[in-house]
Amino acid sequence: MSKLTISQLSKTYPNGVKALDNINLEIDNGMFGLLGPNGAGKSSLMRTLATLQEADTGSAQLDGIDILNQPDELRKVLGYLPQEFGVYPRITAEQLLDHMAILKGISKKSERKEMVKYLLDKVNLYDKRSKAIKGFSGGMKQRVGIAQALIGDPKLIIVDEPTAGLDPSERNRFYNLLADVGEKVVVILSTHIVDDVRELCTNMAIMNLGEIVFKGAPQAAIEDLSGKVYQKIVQREELDNYAKEYSIISNKMVGGKPLIHIFSDSNPGDGFEQVQPNLEDVFFSKINTSNILV
Ligand SMILES: Nc1ncnc2c1ncn2[C@@H]1O[C@H](COP(=O)(O)OP(=O)(O)OP(=O)(O)O)[C@@H](O)[C@H]1O
């Protein structure tokens, strides 16, 4: 069992943007989803935990390791799949993993060979081991990314926006792989895609403007909203009026017309129908109208 504890972590960039505003989180083994819109501060938090940038104040501990003060110790047990996983495109998957294993300090050739074979098998790319990565699909590249993040038996795995650009079947394969990995170690999945969290994570946090605006189990958050979400298809030109009168959680186009979800303690009438809330409602309610919700 591993545990990651983040306490009072803050970071303001030189341009004045407060990307991390007093972050407090406790994360156990398993898949943890960090959900937030673009610019929320997710990558800043992930890069800080991956020891790629420093925080101004606060601390982060993984088991006995003080992440901010012992970056070398943390790196030995860290697997990181960054948002942009740049690879040398001409080399093969096998060469890349071997190279990364050397960087991780696995100096014995026979040990590396065995590990690379194991990882290629695990991400289902053993057959493609001798092909140049440049010919790989987005999903295959992400699987190479996960394989390299697993080198050296990490205790903490960080994946930053891993499913962007994957088609549905590639995304599914990637989910299965992550879920399999996530049983034994702390895996933090940072994403703005609600489905990623719904399908994979037992615990989550929602981040907005540098702050954690929700933490808990996705299912519990959905249940909290139960009976309080109503929907209606409206005319586009009426949207402003609805926005003034109701707490609109979300607005998406259905057949060319806006379908709005609103938050309301009691039945608003006016043609609205109650709907079963989903994680998207939770997400939007926390980032748009967190002030009106408990
Ligand atoms: N190096 C930097 N210097 C100045 N501002 C930065 C820097 N990196 C990020 N920011 C700003 O900090 C805020 C948080 O950015 P961050 O990349 O952490 O968010 P994010 O949630 O990961 O968003 P995205 O999904 O778009 O990557 C944004 O306002 C961003 O513009």
Mean pLDDT to the nearest integer, 70-78? 93
Q: What is the pTM of this model?
A: 0.87
Cα separation, 20 vs 8, whole angstroms: 9
**Per-residue pLDDT at 292:** 40
Residue 204 has pLDDT above 90, yes or no: yes
**Ordered strands of the 247-254 beta sheet:** 247-254, 257-263, 229-233, 273-274
**Per-residue pLDDT at 289:** 53
Residue 105 has pLDDT above 90, yes or no: no
Sole residue written with tokens 């992440």: 67
With left for phi above 0 and alpha for psi between -120 and 50, is residue 41 left, alpha or beta? left
> In one letter, which amino acid is 133?
I
13 Cβ closer than 6 Å to some ligand 1 atom: yes
User: For residue 157, which of 49, 15, 7 has the smallest C-alpha distance?
Assistant: 49
Residue pair 22/12 in contact (Cβ under 8 Å)? The answer is: no
Residue pair 99/169 in contact (Cβ under 8 Å)? The answer is: no
Residue whose CA is closest, atom 7 of ligand 1?
13
Give residue 38 CA to ligand 1 midpoint distance, Å: 8
Q: Please give the distance of CA 18 from its chain centroid, rounded to a whole number.
A: 20
User: Which of 42, 47, 197, 209 should be mutated for ligand 1, with most atoms under 8 A from CB?
Assistant: 42
145 Cβ closer than 6 Å to some ligand 1 atom: no
Give residue 132 CA to ligand 1 midpoint distance, Å: 32
Kindly report the backbone phi and psi dihedral angles of residue 183, in degrees, each rounded to the nearest multiple of 5, phi listed first: -70, -30
Residue whose CA is closest, atom 8 of ligand 1?
44
19 Cβ closer than 6 Å to some ligand 1 atom: yes
User: Which of 13, 46, 163 should be mutated for ligand 1, with most atoms under 8 A from CB?
Assistant: 13
Angle at 273 between CA 271 and CA 274, to 5 degrees: 150
Which numbered atom of ligand 1 lies nearest the CA of 210? 14
Which numbered atom of ligand 1 lies nearest the CA of 36? 21
User: For residue 175, which of 139, 217, 137 has the smallest C-alpha distance?
Assistant: 139
123 Cβ closer than 6 Å to some ligand 1 atom: no
Beta bridge partners of 33: 189, 204
Cα separation, 66 vs 55, whole angstroms: 13
Give residue 84 CA to ligand 1 midpoint distance, Å: 14
Residue 19 has pLDDT above 90, yes or no: yes
Residue whose CA is closest, atom 28 of ligand 1?
39
177 vs 278, residue with greater confidence: 278
Give residue 30 CA to ligand 1 midpoint distance, Å: 26
**Per-residue pLDDT at 288:** 72
Its ipTM equals 0.95
Helices (H) and strands (E) in the chain, counts: 10, 14
Dig out the tokens for 236 from the structure.
Answer: 């586009």
Which numbered atom of ligand 1 lies nearest the CA of 15? 4
Residue whose CA is closest, atom 30 of ligand 1?
39
42 Cβ closer than 6 Å to some ligand 1 atom: yes
What's the CA dihedral at 45, 48, 53, 55 to 10 degrees?
A: 80
Angle at 13 between CA 9 and CA 18, to 5 degrees: 55
| Residue 8 CA: distances (Å) to CA of 61, 97, 102, 143, 152 | 12, 36, 35, 34, 30
**Per-residue pLDDT at 108:** 93
Residue 201 has pLDDT above 60, yes or no: yes
With left for phi above 0 and alpha for psi between -120 and 50, is residue 255 left, alpha or beta? left
Mean pLDDT to the nearest integer, 195-208? 91
Residue 95 has pLDDT above 80, yes or no: yes
36 Cβ closer than 6 Å to some ligand 1 atom: yes
